[in-house]
Amino acid sequence: MSQACITTTLFDLFKVGPGPSSSHTIGPMKAGHHFAQNCLELPRDVRVRAARFRVRLYGSLSATGTGHGTDAAVVAGLLGNAPEDCPPSLLQTLMDNPHTPHTRPLGDGEVTVSVSDVIHDAVIHDFPYSNTLVIELTDEAGNTLYLQEYYSVGGGFIQWKGWVAPELGEPVHRYSNMTELRAIVKEKGLNIYEIILDNEMAITGASRPAIIHSLNEIIAHMETSVRRGLDAEGALPGPLKVQRKARMLWQQATRLHASPDQFLTRLNAYAFATAEENAAGGVIVTAPTCGSAGVMPALVYALRHELFIGDRAIREAFLAAAAVGFIAKHNASIAGAEVGCQGEIGVASAMAAAFVADARGYRSRVTENAAEVALEHHLGITCDPVQGYVQIPCIERNAMGALKAYNAAVITCGTDPYSQRVSLDAAIAAMAETGREMSCKFKETSLGGLAVSMVAC
């Protein structure tokens, strides 16, 4: 093997939680929850002196945390909430009342925290990851009793100083990139979904029926997010006053009888629907991130309700999409703060393209090619949310990512798969290199691109 094999699991990549950002909302909430749980294990003489939680945000978390609800998310985690069970209205309530103290029991005592205890610190720093937060437990005088450094590394994944990867089961099929995965397909005569399912069972210890049940729930959450978004109207939260467009597009599609634009307009509506739900702080599925959460659901909904693809084909294609996400995360990044929007919308589009090709019954080589075409034509895209809100240009980018995914599948399904000159591994390597060279202004800090030019206008 060229490097350590992939051990990321399906439900690490596809996570249910509140928007608007996996790295800025879900990750910080998980960090706060983890820190508070650790505090419960501190010696009693430390816990009885504990009085407050304090948080410092660095890098992109500091630059755009306000628009992403980071402050409220980490406080919600410190108060004991995990992303998958966080009450939908909690983050907005916390943001609306930033100076209101909230109390959490801590063994024999209790600790208070408010959103105003979250400090936005340096954007440029020396920590190993852009999205860094430092959480501390203090006594009444402000003296530090316990401190931990956390990193939100994209897609809702977190690490911390001294973090060691958890011990997991060994995958049945060891691969670190698409070339190696393709070799397994050829040598063992397996489909990609069989390889991913075998590995999921081996790594997590979960049974096949349990995995399929959880996968059905993830797909159901995606469809629900589309339906909620199609039903909603009005302006999204925040100062930009962005109007929801999903319902408008859906209504427009109903008027396009027998027009070739009807399917594309509906596909746009589905992508807008979930992306707008995410921007409003609604519950979505990271795919692979919150900021790109509208791309996969749009294709899932379209294939099921427009093209009438069956449940089994949807599930199996979903696992092919997961393989693309795993490989991109392993060899580059899925975090806008690390590689720009190419790692979010670009990877989501690649995953969705693979999903479409596989669901329509094409071979794994065509699935790979579809993913490559979609990713290739997102290379270099910056992450420049205006005022730090996942609204402009993020919502429309989800729709463009969905359309590119579908078109990538159309192109590759209609051509000789062996005439493809660029491999998915090459496109991912290009994304990683581009991300390393990209200025931090264009990596989720809102210091460049549209985030500056739109305000200047």
**Mean of the pLDDT values across residues 184-192?**
96
pLDDT digits (tens, 9 = 90+) for 329-375: 999 999 898 999 999 999 999 999 999 999 999 999 999 999 999 99
Token pair of 172 as six digits: 């049945």
Q: Considering only 90-94, 130-134, 226-230, 422-426, which range has the smallest mean pLDDT?
A: 90-94
Confidence of residue 66 (pLDDT cuts 50, 70, 90): confident
What does the pLDDT read at residue 347?
98
CB 268 within 8 A of CB 249: yes
What does the pLDDT read at residue 366?
97
> Which residue, among 69, 86, 75, 60, has the nearest Cα to 112 in the 3D structure?
75
Question: How many other C-beta atoms can be found within 10 angstroms of the C-beta atom of residue 325?
Answer: 26
**Mean of the pLDDT values across residues 251-269?**
94
pLDDT digits (tens, 9 = 90+) for 70-113: 999 999 999 999 998 888 778 889 999 999 999 999 977 899 99
Asked whether residue 3 carries a pLDDT value surpassing 80, the answer given is no
Task: Calculate the CA 72 to chain-centre distance.
Answer: 18
Angle at 83 (CA atoms; ends 8, 232), nearest 5 degrees: 110
CB 78 within 8 A of CB 113: yes
pLDDT digits (tens, 9 = 90+) for 130-149: 899 999 999 999 999 999 99
pLDDT digits (tens, 9 = 90+) for 389-419: 899 999 999 999 999 999 999 999 999 999 9
What does the pLDDT read at residue 455?
61
pLDDT digits (tens, 9 = 90+) for 289-334: 999 999 999 999 999 999 999 999 999 999 999 999 999 999 999 9
> Which residue, among 56, 27, 34, has the nearest Cα to 154 in the 3D structure?
27
Set out the domains of the chain in order of their start, with CATH numbers: 22-160 (3.30.1330.90), 178-456 (no CATH)
Confidence of residue 1 (pLDDT cuts 50, 70, 90): very low
User: What is the pTM assigned to this prediction?
Assistant: 0.86
Residue 231 host element (H or E): helix 208-231
Asked whether residue 456 carries a pLDDT value surpassing 50, the answer given is no
Quick one: CA torsion of 151, 85, 70, 453, rounded to 10 degrees? 110
What does the pLDDT read at residue 288?
95
Phi/psi at 106 (nearest 5 deg)?
-140, 85
